[in-house]
Amino acid sequence: MTSKQKSIVGGMTILSIVGIVCKIVGALYRIPLQWLIGDEGMGTYQLIFPSYNMLLTISSAGLPVAISRMVSYSLAQDNPGNARRIFRIALSFLSAVGCVAMIFMIAFSPALARRTGDITTQPGFVAIAPSLLLVCTMSAFRGFMQGQQNMVPTAISQLIEQVGKVFVALPLAWLGMRTSIAYAVAGMFLGTSIAEAAALLYMFVVYRKKKADFDLRLQDETQDLSDNKALAKQLFSLSIPITIGACIVPLASFIDSGLLLNRLILAGFELDNARALYGRYGNVLSLINIPTGLATAIAMSLVPSISTAMARGDGQAMRHQSALGLKLSLVIGLPCSLGMSMLSKQLLSMVYKFNTPDALNVAAQLLSISSFTIVLFTVVQSTTGILQGLRKQRIPMYTLVAGVAVKIFLNYTLIAMPQINIFGAPIASLACYTISMVPNLYFVYKYTKMKFDFMNTLAKPLLSTVLMGVVLYLFIKLLPSGRLWTLILVFIGMISYFGFALLTGALSRDDIQPLLRRINRKKLKRTKEGK
């Protein structure tokens, strides 16, 4: 592998390791939170978060990807002057938009609360509003760093966000619980805003430290500096379709937050029971979000890498990185989906506290179905990253529109049926990502002119996953229940899959080389420090 080809794997390695740590911390953070506020409190959280997430996505989703792509393209042409101007334009715009979004959420918090059907959510909307400004501003710094193929600051800032929630949000939730569940949830969201502020401060410090090195980059005199107006026009033309595409899933969640509770009530549930059921589904989603962090890492690494390859006219590197991204999405997604489905009850009983065995059984059934969205989501994310890098950002936008339209229709129809109720939600998600994934794959192969490598891309990861499932099934039957045994089962699943992946060739030494190099560098550094 060339140095450019290794960069995508190195970026994925860094973001994946830190991403999965962040997701684990986030899931573990929900354990004491659920003990504090219960299923009803988690249901209240689920009613607030989609509105925040939608506004945040509208404010910041497209520009960081566009910044990353334009910066990497400019640097590939030895034009750091344009890269610097792109960052300044984006930072000013994102900060302004974030400020407007924050004011909007605070001003319209009563209306947002009424829309959810639960007016006690209003304090939560006010508490989370500052995060809109903070994350929007931070997104500009992240996009600028990613455009330089430097994924470490983004990864560390994500870790600061998650760790900050544990040490700030939980105490504030505990204090709020002395008043009511609504104020406990508001305290948690206020802690989130404080954690985002800490992450933004870190990104700013890193930017100031790296600025001197960036300023030393030589400008190719044959490359003209674009004026700010032209750069802004290009930046927005790239980011608008990406933003629309990125908004589709949060928009569906926003619609769900005002839909699911009402449809569950229509199915025959009382308000408290419906809110608790919605909260259990939220717990399921938090576990699923752990491995999907890897998918986000793949997508973020693909965009600047493919954009750089295009700027250099290196079609071979572009195809190599695209094929690698697709392969890794299946290598990660397939075992995570099957393993989480097989261990659904064990994982949930280990992580969360349920009032009754029936509540645990319902959540476990939800997780066993929902876990298969992981592999679909990882492929959708990687194909989206590839298409965005190829400047075909409208395609994933259209495919997600189709998928989400089906998702909303199925949620509306299925959840109101008493015999299906909340189980309609994971069914709808499976349909959504399948509808989005299939055309994405078609267009990736069409525009990259790759040949589909059935054995390496699909057959070997699938065979490794099936073999892992057999081993896991045998040990589930042999080992007793309990938290320690669940951790052992997870470890057995990971080790067996890794072994089978190496044996079948699903993973090669080249695929894990960046991680091995990183470990060796740390060992060498510790050795030198010891001397």
Neighbour-count burial of 101, counting CB atoms closer than 10 A to its CB (0-12 exposed, 13-18 middle, 19+ buried): buried
More confidently predicted of 521 and 19: 19
Is residue 218 in a domain? no
pLDDT at 79: 82
Q: Given 452, 479, 511, which residue is the final one in a domain?
A: 452
Same domain, 471 and 417: no
Same domain, 478 and 507: yes
Same domain, 364 and 270: yes
> What is the total count of domains within the chain?
2
Of 518, 501, 520, 522, the residue nearest 14 (C-alpha)? 518
pLDDT tens track for 252-307? 666 776 677 778 888 888 877 887 787 788 778 878 877 776 666 665 566 566 66
pLDDT-wise least confident of 36-50, 167-181, 392-406, 410-424? 36-50
Is residue 261 in a domain? yes
pLDDT at 243: 74
Q: What is the mean pLDDT of residues 83-93?
A: 88
Same domain, 347 and 358: yes
More confidently predicted of 59 and 111: 111
CB proximity list for 398: less than 8 A, separation 6 or greater? none
pLDDT at 519: 41
The two tokens of residue 210 are 């790296």
In 138-194, beta strands by DSSP E: none
- Main-chain dihedrals φ then ψ at residue 2, nearest 5 degrees: -75, 170
State the Cα–Cα distance between residues 163 and 196, nearest whole angstrom: 10
pLDDT at 297: 60
pLDDT of 139 > 50? The answer is yes
Is residue 459 in a domain? yes
For residue 18, what pLDDT band results from cuts at 50, 70 and 90? low
State the Cα–Cα distance between residues 386 and 441, nearest whole angstrom: 10
For residue 14, what pLDDT band results from cuts at 50, 70 and 90? low
Q: Given 452, 481, 498, which residue is the final one in a domain?
A: 452
Is residue 216 in a domain? no
Same domain, 397 and 284: yes
pLDDT of 317 > 80? The answer is no
More confidently predicted of 450 and 497: 497
pLDDT of 180 > 50? The answer is yes
The two tokens of residue 178 are 């002395």
State the Cα–Cα distance between residues 89 and 77, nearest whole angstrom: 20
Is residue 234 in a domain? yes
pLDDT at 28: 67
Q: Record the pTM.
A: 0.65
Is residue 416 in a domain? yes
pLDDT of 422 > 90? The answer is no
Same domain, 352 and 476: no
pLDDT at 342: 93
pLDDT of 111 > 70? The answer is yes
pLDDT of 235 > 50? The answer is yes
Same domain, 252 and 138: yes
Same domain, 417 and 469: no
User: What is the percent of the chain with per-residue pLDDT over 70, rounded to a whole number?
Assistant: 81
Same domain, 103 and 167: yes
pLDDT-wise least confident of 93-107, 136-150, 303-317, 450-464? 303-317
pLDDT of 16 > 60? The answer is no
Residue 377 structural domain: 3-210+228-452
pLDDT at 372: 92
pLDDT at 282: 78
Is residue 217 in a domain? no
CB proximity list for 459: less than 8 A, separation 6 or greater? none
Same domain, 260 and 384: yes
pLDDT tens track for 196-234? 999 999 999 999 988 888 887 777 767 667 777 888 888
pLDDT at 134: 92
Same domain, 195 and 288: yes
Q: Given 452, 476, 507, which residue is the final one in a domain?
A: 452
Same domain, 362 and 504: no
More confidently predicted of 350 and 303: 350
Of 174, 39, 186, the residue nearest 122 (C-alpha)? 186
Is residue 219 in a domain? no
State the Cα–Cα distance between residues 259 and 19, nearest whole angstrom: 31
Neighbours of 10 (CB within 10 A): 19
pLDDT tens track for 388-412? 777 787 888 889 889 988 988 998 8
pLDDT at 3: 47
pLDDT at 343: 92
Of 104, 34, 91, the residue nearest 349 (C-alpha)? 34
> Does residue 275 contact residue 423 with C-beta atoms inside 8 Å?
no
